[in-house]
Amino acid sequence: MKKTILQFAAASITALTLVACGGGDDATPAGGPPIIVNADGTTNFEGTALASSLSALPLEALSEAEKASLAYMREEEKLAHDVYTRLDSLWGSQVRVFGNIANSEATHTEAVRQLLIRYGLPDPAANLTEGMFANATLQQLYHDLVALGTPSQVAALRVGAQIEELDIVDIQTALNDIDNQDIRLVYENLMKGSRNHLRSFVKTLTQQGESYSPVYLSQEDYDAIVTTPIER
């Protein structure tokens, strides 16, 4: 089950390459938006377009809050990837959503890694295998979420929705302390991806006759997301 960091990095690069080569439903030209949104809502960072977008923005001084946020977000996006990969191994033969979104999350954590490289910051996820985290809170959360999603497919889908909720809340909170344009660019697109992925998990639950109640978002904010179309 576990992969080495080299395998994980290869998966991230493969995911970025796939979307760069038109692996999604929509083609995004170099220099265009840094993400590709597929018909099912999976939202991938496109490597060439992201690099072009970042290079057009200034390299600004980092606050301590921004440094801490980048380290945390790198691992939080890895958390989503790793949990979905584990749940896909359990339920992927029945629903494709875990594998599809896991591939997207590989491009999300890679996008944050590119910011770490851009600013010469250490990568907290370097040399960590799947399911392993430098941050103790995220480490425990990984174990808790996998345990919650193991008993049934419905429980697993609810875990997926919960992760996307948490990402939305954490990114929005982080943006309150971030003014660097390049970080905001990546984070705002991460949040768009999380909204789309939340829609995908909730839609899959609804198709199975199941419901979901928000854990981290207010009911009003949750409804505003899941009752509106996929964002492009």
Token duo for residue 24: 């999604």
CA atoms of 113 and 123, how far apart (whole Å): 7
Give 192-209 pLDDT, tens digit per residue: 999 999 999 999 999 999
Residue written as token pair 């979901």: 212
Q: Which amino acid is at 82?
A: D
CA atoms of 127 and 118, how far apart (whole Å): 19
Ranges 32-41, 107-116, 158-167: which has the least confidence: 32-41
| DSSP 8-state assignment for residue 226 | H
Q: Is the pLDDT of residue 8 over 50?
A: no
pTM score above 0.85: yes
Buried b (16+ CB within 10 A) or exposed e, 200-218: bbbbbbeeeeeebebeebe
| DSSP 8-state assignment for residue 34 | S
CATH number of 5-226: 1.20.1260.10
